[in-house]
Amino acid sequence: MTAGEKMSDTETAILTKEDIISLVKDFIVNNFLFGQEDEPINDSDSFLGKGIIDSTGILELIDFAEESYGINIDDNELIPENLDSLDNISRFILFKKG
């Protein structure tokens, strides 16, 4: 699966943290770093803190997650603990897929 494709029910059933991290990282590199990952993004790196994504980019990331994983992210869930790193967003998506 590539960034921009919606997951099938079969793919969702066997979704792993590593799968999510890989897909989200690809999305970030292609959409915000213009395909260049000059400095590796660690799973725990803060997107905002390291300047990887700005506040507008977070909105794009939310749209990507909702479309790719078939989840709805409520306004009260728009917090750094859910969305500000590869670790955080992967845990959050797995929780939402529950």
Under a CB-based contact definition with an 8 Å cutoff, are residues 43 and 86 in contact?
yes
The burial class, CB within 10 Å (0-12 / 13-18 / 19+), for 16 is exposed
Residue 90 has pLDDT above 60, yes or no: yes
| Residue-wise pLDDT tens digits, 42-74 | 999 999 999 999 989 999 999 999 999 999 999
Residue 85 has pLDDT above 80, yes or no: yes
Chain length of the chain: 98
- Structurally, at CATH architecture level, domain 9-97 sits in Orthogonal Bundle (1.10)
Residues 6+ apart with CB under 8 A from 61: 24, 27, 28, 47, 53, 83, 89
For the chain, give every domain's residue range.
Answer: 9-97
pLDDT of residue 2: 52
Task: Read off the DSSP letter of residue 74.
Answer: -
Task: Read off the DSSP letter of residue 16.
Answer: -
Does residue 3 come out as left (phi exceeding 0), alpha (psi in the -120 to 50 range) or beta? beta
The whole-chain average pLDDT of the chain stands at 89
